[in-house]
Amino acid sequence: MFENIEEGYERRDIYNKDNIEQLSQCYLSMIETIKEDPQREGLLKTPIRAAKAFQFLTHGYGLDPAAILKSAIFHEDSKQIVIVKDIEIYSLCEHHMLPFFGKAHVGYIPNGRICGLSKIPRVVDAFSRRLQLQERLTAQIKDCIQEVLNPMGVAVVIEAQHLCMSMRGIQKQNSVTTTSEFTGAFLKNYNTRQEFMHLIGTKLH
């Protein structure tokens, strides 16, 4: 039965206690290693806060992207491109464990089946909330949609800024990395691919 929640809705964050404890010890060790005082007021709860943040940022490992898509599949005869664009992505570069963030644009051409629109951003989140490479992330989203829906084609474009390039190393704050993956009609037909690229670049609202 439903719990009696006074305000009608309550969001709860639930963490794996063992993981939080282990991660907290790692962050405590990091603070000590850089010669900071972990007993300083501002740092007293930093290890556990950082541990919870890291577990949230990597919670995609506990999600099944294919199952997310399969939970809302419907039969539909439409043969027109379905696009969900400007999907915010937040991920961690696996090389330096620094964030990269930007937008994903995902399209597919139905082949008798469509999925609930919200499932596409959920799939993007499930793959992005992991230690990632942008190139792999783009391919994983494409492969998941292709394998589950078996559409006539899938198109995925991701544009992202990488803090490992702007905060350190080459320090190019305005650089943007673009990756793309295509299957089926998007890969074989230039006009279909161009229609997708035009639509994701057009402001309709």
Residue from 105, 134, 140, 144 carrying the catalytic annotation = 134
Residue from 105, 132, 144, 162 carrying the catalytic annotation = 162
Is residue 164 annotated as a catalytic residue, yes or no? yes
Residue from 96, 146, 159, 161 carrying the catalytic annotation = 96
Is residue 115 annotated as a catalytic residue, yes or no? no
Quick check: 91 and 137 in contact, CB under 8 A?
yes
Is residue 26 annotated as a catalytic residue, yes or no? no
Segments of the chain assigned E as strands: 73-75, 82-93, 99-109, 113-115, 131-132, 153-162, 177-182
Quick check: 104 and 84 in contact, CB under 8 A?
no
Q: Which residues make Cβ contacts (< 8 Å) with residue 189, sequence separation at least 6?
A: none
Is residue 162 annotated as a catalytic residue, yes or no? yes
Is residue 205 annotated as a catalytic residue, yes or no? no
Is residue 93 annotated as a catalytic residue, yes or no? yes
Q: Cα(203)–Cα(75) distance, rounded to whole angstroms? A: 29
Residue from 32, 88, 94, 147 carrying the catalytic annotation = 94
Is residue 3 annotated as a catalytic residue, yes or no? no
Task: Please identify every residue annotated as catalytic.
Answer: 93-96, 134, 162, 164
